[in-house]
């Protein structure tokens, strides 16, 4: 072997060495990837090729107590675009803009997005959908989606609330019972290739969606309708800022209607201001004023600090309490306990309150449930305000006696006062009656549940009688309904101005609370009108509204009127010869202010 | 006088195994792509089988043709002229279409740069053998040789096919090294190549960024990093034993060219560490047997030719595999015997035919 050839061999050997080192490097890299980095990288591959498709469940429906549909689902079409497949974005945008209520420029922006999927418009009606389908635009696709629909429009909108575009409950029962109504999403796991297409069309695993449960509420659509219509009318004619009506069955706590003004249409909730979504009867607090006096008397009777026929000197139309002077509408002179309530005397109420005393008044206010939520099944409930005992000042007993310095929600006051019509028992207020599965099986039924007994049946009956007198000849005569005995109490409260830190001179809340028929109450109702213009007395603004609603309720509920002679009998018993003055009172209301 | 032996059976068997294995992998890797574009899962498979048949036929023909036929100047220069001619035609005829790597004629297509690689190896073996005595004479040997290589490189770059151009330079350097060309020339080539590299790549931001993607593909996972990452995911997913033949999911359009440049990634995913390293071992055997033929060859020409052909195939294989493992930046080089591509397969089998013929002789 010559030298040249030998040198060639050495060079070839060198190259062989390089090649085998290179191969060693490759093998080492293979081990590193396929053994040590396998899990991490394989996981990444799994993520990029697995796609889970969410299968939306059917949202449960909401029915009124008689089976009327309040919230249902309608199948709509959602239109989406795959921007990479859209051939001519500007032309496509123009064509879509002619059909959809979306601006051309916004559509074009979406179509030019660098995302792989964009919504063009969610939940479109069938007709525009068909028009767009016929355009056969490349890159535009259609998906069926359920849209929440409220067939009764504004009816009971504050109670039902509404669901958003992704079928999530946002307000009212839709929100509070969302977990019940929503159902469970199903899902489908599929494998996709790099072009985002399924290559296993049937999917790997599939879990069907479970439909949400249906809900039946205690609300009666017709009672609700009456309440809403009359409330709207009163708010309109009085020029009030707002108002609420709550109607309950005092025996069971079933809520039959909750009406509020201003209201909104849940089908187009976004077009209304957020303040109109508020269920004021549950979320907003006010000082109850004289309507509280009936409960004050309840405390006094239970404590036996006054008798029904005790007489009090109510002075020259005012009383000084710890330096403040609280006025009556006019000087009453001597009044009996009953008359203090009938005429709603502030001076009398303060005397009764002082007889009860600070300690016991605080104790009973707490025990009755003021300052505490009723735990009604509606979201956003306020519990009202009762100042803690250590913060009570010298005027507190006097103020609370006339229903100031204490805040309630309309629902709360009605719930507590209903004990008078229910042998002293406070019932837990309930909106939802039962929960049904999609197939109609009963899953849960809410039976009436008493919360506490606050007064004895005897006291309850005594109070009821006094409330009958209020309507027959006291401040509430405007609520009188021929043929029926109605128990009620008016209230007119000055509104506290939080900015000025004092009670405003011209802002009032007019209210009326009552039971019907008083001999066997099936209806408890509170009417609250916020800042009526012009006349602002509960007896003039709220009582007539109570009567309007009551009149239609007795017809709808077929509550038989009393025999004429019986009515007369009861009336004469109560009136006890002061009819003339009663009429006079009704003409010039006896409401109190400080 | 050289003894005539039988051709190297080990070499023959390794090549046949690799080719048949390649046919299977081409089918597995290309079925989805073929269905997508040609509505038939076997579109690429059938074309590849036809190419294999032609390739094997030519391999047998050359196995039975004395390799010294390539020592004849007429043959060598004809082949060289043919390669240069076709490349020049491509460069001139269709510059407007952008990519022009293929000559097309009645449904047949051919990739002249593949043939050019083979012809270059033959030419270099011939030329270096012929000028053995004045090997380090700059004007008589080195510069003319570099002129030929340079012309090829420029024509290939026109296509543009940077990967093949670089590979051609690499082959030329390796063969000059084997033949014993002075270090200073090799160093000079390296230096000028570096300058050229800087001029063409480092200076152009988008090319440089793209090149660097292999260093850290995760920096831009949806852009330049996408291909390297998909390849790594494929190979790593295979684990030790692989997902099984046909079970690759990465070939479903995640890998850029699952049946050509990235077929090794599919091998790694479907056959795992075992399959992927066996493929490397097979190429290792090929290297050993090819260089054995080179060393045993009775003349310098045979040594140069056998070594050149062996390294032509091995270096392509190593570069291709290294790209799939992100050890090297992406270059458009196929995996010899395995990747889909008729021209490359036929040329590789011709090279093997010549190599097998050389292996019959021993001094």
User: Which of chain B's residues have a Cβ under 8 Å away from the Cβ of A8?
Assistant: 178-180, 300, 303
- pLDDT level of residue A573 (50, 70, 90 thresholds): very low
pLDDT of residue A453: 94
CATH code at A75-144: 3.90.1310.10
Across A542-551, average pLDDT: 95
SS3 content of chain A, % helix, strand, coil (to 5): 40, 25, 35
| A245 three-class SS | strand
pLDDT of residue A584: 34
pLDDT of residue A203: 53
Q: What are phi and psi of A44, to 5 degrees?
A: -65, -40
* B261 vs B256: which has the higher pLDDT: B261
The answer to whether the A49-68+152-217 and A221-266+276-434+447-587 domains have the same CATH topology is no
SS3 content of chain B, % helix, strand, coil (to 5): 70, 5, 25
Q: How far apart are CA A402 and CA A291, in angstroms?
A: 8
pLDDT of residue B62: 95
Place of tokens 């004289």: A290
Per-domain residue ranges of chain A: 49-68+152-217, 75-144, 221-266+276-434+447-587
Q: How far apart are CA A249 and CA A322, in angstroms?
A: 41
Residue A572: pLDDT over 50? no
Residue A223's nearest CA partner among A562, A559, A560 is: A559
pLDDT tens for A392-446 read 888 899 999 999 999 999 999 999 999 999 999 999 999 999 999 988 899 999 9
- pLDDT level of residue A195 (50, 70, 90 thresholds): low
pLDDT tens for A494-542 read 887 777 677 767 789 999 999 999 988 999 999 999 999 988 888 889 9
Q: Is A48 on the interface with B (CB under 8 A)?
A: yes
Pick among A20, A26, A191, A199 to test the B interface (most B CBs inside 10 A): A26
Rounded to a whole number of angstroms, the distance from the CA of B165 to the nearest CA of chain A is 21
* CA A109, A111, A112, A114 torsion-angle sign: positive
pLDDT tens for A97-148 read 888 888 888 888 888 887 777 888 888 888 888 888 888 888 888 888 888 9
Q: Which of A78, A157, A244, A290 is catalytic?
A: A290
- pLDDT level of residue A579 (50, 70, 90 thresholds): very low
Within A72-188, residue ranges assigned H as helices are 89-99, 104-111, 126-135, 157-160, 172-176, 178-182
Residue A31: pLDDT over 70? yes
Decide if domain A221-266+276-434+447-587 falls under CATH 3.40.710.10. yes
Nearest to B237 among A23, A25, A45 (CB): A45
User: Which of chain A's residues have a Cβ under 8 Å away from the Cβ of B295?
Assistant: 9, 12
Residue A290 falls in the annotated catalytic set: yes
User: Which of chain B's residues have a Cβ under 8 Å away from the Cβ of A49?
Assistant: 249, 252, 254
First to last CA, chain A: 130
pLDDT tens for A446-493 read 999 999 999 999 999 999 999 999 999 889 899 999 999 999 999 998
pLDDT of residue A194: 65
pLDDT of residue A322: 65
H helix or E strand, kind and range, residue A492? strand A487-497
Q: Do B273 and A31 touch (CB under 8 A)?
A: yes
Across B334-349, average pLDDT: 94
Residue B1: pLDDT over 90? no
User: Which of chain B's residues have a Cβ under 8 Å away from the Cβ of A4?
Assistant: 132, 180, 300
Across B183-206, average pLDDT: 85
CATH code at A49-68+152-217: 3.90.1310.10
DSSP-derived letter for residue A541 is I
Q: Do B236 and A40 touch (CB under 8 A)?
A: yes
């Amino acid at each position: 072997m010559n030298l040249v050839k030998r040198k060639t061999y050495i060079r070839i050997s060198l190259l062989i060495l390089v090649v085998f080192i290179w191969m060693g490097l490759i093998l080492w890299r293979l081990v590193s990837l396929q053994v040590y980095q396998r899990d991490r990288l394989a996981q990444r591959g799994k993520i990029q090729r697995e796609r889970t498709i969410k299968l939306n469940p059917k949202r449960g429906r909401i029915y009124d107590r008689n089976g009327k549909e309040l919230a249902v689902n309608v199948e709509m079409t959602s239109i989406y675009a795959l921007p990479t497949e859209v051939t001519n974005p500007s032309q496509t945008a123009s064509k879509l803009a002619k059909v959809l209520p979306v601006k051309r420029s916004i559509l074009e922006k979406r179509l030019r997005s660098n995302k792989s999927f964009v919504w063009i418009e969610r939940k479109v009606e069938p007709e525009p959908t068909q028009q767009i389908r016929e355009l056969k635009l490349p890159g535009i696709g259609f998906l069926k989606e359920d849209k929440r629909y409220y067939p009764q429009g504004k009816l009971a909108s504050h109670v039902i609330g509404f669901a958003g575009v992704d079928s999530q409950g946002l307000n009212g029962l839709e929100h509070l019972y969302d977990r019940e109504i929503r159902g469970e999403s199903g899902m489908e796991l599929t494998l996709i290739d790099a072009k985002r297409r399924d290559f296993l069309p049937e999917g790997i695993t599939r879990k069907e969606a479970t439909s949400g449960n249906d809900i039946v509420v205690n609300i009666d659509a017709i009672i609700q309708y009456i309440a809403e219509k009359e409330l709207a009318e009163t708010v309109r004619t009085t020029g009030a800022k707002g108002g609420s009506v709550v109607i309950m069955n005092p025996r069971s706590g079933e809520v039959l209607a909750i009406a509020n003004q201003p209201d909104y249409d849940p089908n187009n909730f976004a077009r209304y201001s957020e303040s109109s979504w508020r269920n004021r009867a549950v979320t907003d607090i006010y000082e109850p004023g004289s309507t509280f006096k009936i409960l004050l008397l309840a405390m006094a009777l239970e404590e036996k600090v006054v008798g029904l026929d005790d007489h009090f000197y109510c002075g020259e139309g005012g009383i000084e309490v710890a330096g403040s002077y609280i006025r009556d509408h006019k000087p009453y002179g001597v009044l009996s306990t009953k008359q203090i309530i009938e005429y709603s005397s502030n001076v009398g109420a303060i005397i009764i309150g002082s007889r009860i005393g600070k300690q016991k008044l605080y104790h009973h206010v707490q025990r009755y449930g003021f300052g505490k939520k009723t735990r009604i099944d509606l979201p956003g409930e306020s519990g009202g305000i009762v100042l803690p005992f250590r913060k009570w000042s010298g005027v507190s007993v006097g103020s609370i006696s006339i229903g100031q310095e204490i805040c309630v929600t309309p629902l709360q006051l009605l719930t507590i006062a209903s004990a008078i019509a229910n042998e002293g028992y406070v019932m837990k207020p309930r909106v939802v009656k039962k929960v049904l599965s999609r197939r109609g099986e009963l899953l849960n039924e809410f039976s009436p549940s008493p919360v506490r007994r606050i007064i004895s049946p005897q006291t309850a009956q005594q109070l009821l009688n006094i409330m009958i007198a209020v309507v027959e000849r006291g401040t509430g005569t405007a609520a009188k309904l021929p043929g029926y005995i109605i128990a009620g109490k008016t209230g007119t409260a000055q509104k506290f101005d939080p900015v000025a830190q004092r009670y405003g001179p011209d802002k009032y809340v007019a209210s009326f609370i009552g039971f019907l028929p008083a001999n066997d109450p099936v209806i408890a109702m509170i009417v609250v009108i916020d800042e009526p213009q012009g006349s602002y007395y509960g007896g003039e603004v709220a009582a007539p509204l109570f009567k309007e609603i009551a009149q239609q309720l007795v017809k709808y509920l077929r509550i038989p009127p009393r025999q004429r002679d019986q009515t007369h009998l009861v009336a004469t018993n109560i009136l006890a010869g002061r009819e003339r003055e009663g009429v006079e009172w009704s003409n010039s209301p006896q409401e109190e202010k400080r | 006088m050289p003894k005539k032996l039988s051709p190297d059976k080990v070499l023959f068997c390794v090549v046949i195994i690799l080719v048949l294995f390649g046919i299977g992998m081409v089918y597995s890797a290309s079925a989805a792509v073929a269905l997508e574009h040609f509505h038939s899962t076997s579109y690429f498979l059938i074309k590849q089988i036809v190419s294999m048949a032609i390739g094997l036929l030519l391999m047998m023909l050359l196995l039975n043709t004395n390799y010294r036929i390539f020592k004849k100047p007429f043959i060598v220069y004809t082949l060289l002229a043919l390669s240069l001619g076709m490349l020049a035609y491509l460069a001139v005829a269709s510059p407007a279409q952008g990519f022009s790597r293929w000559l097309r004629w009645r449904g047949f297509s051919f990739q002249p740069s593949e043939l050019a690689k083979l012809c270059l190896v033959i030419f270099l073996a011939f030329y270096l053998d012929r000028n053995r005595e004045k090997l380090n004479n700059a004007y008589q040997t080195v510069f003319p040789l570099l002129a030929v290589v340079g012309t090829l490189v420029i024509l290939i770059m026109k296509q543009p096919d940077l990967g093949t151009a670089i590979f051609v330079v690499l082959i030329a350097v390796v063969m000059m090294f084997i033949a014993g060309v002075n270090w200073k020339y090799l160093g000079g080539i390296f230096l000028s190549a570096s300058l050229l590299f800087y001029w063409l790549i480092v200076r152009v931001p988008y090319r440089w960024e793209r090149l660097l993607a292999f260093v850290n593909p995760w920096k831009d996972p949806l852009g330049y990093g996408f291909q390297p990452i998909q390849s790594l995911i494929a190979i790593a997913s295979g684990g030790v034993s692989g997902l099984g033949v046909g079970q690759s999911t990465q070939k479903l359009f995640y890998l850029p060219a699952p049946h050509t440049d990235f077929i090794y990634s599919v091998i790694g995913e479907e056959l795992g560490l075992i399959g992927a390293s066996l493929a490397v071992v097979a190429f290792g055997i090929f290297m050993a047997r090819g260089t054995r033929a080179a060393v045993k060859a009775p003349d310098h020409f045979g040594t140069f030719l056998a070594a050149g052909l062996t390294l032509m195939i091995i270096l392509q294989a190593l570069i291709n595999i290294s790209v799939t493992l992100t050890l090297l930046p992406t270059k458009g080089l196929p995996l010899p015997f395995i990747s889909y591509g008729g021209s490359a397969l036929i040329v590789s089998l011709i090279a093997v035919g010549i190599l097998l013929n050389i292996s019959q002789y021993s001094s």
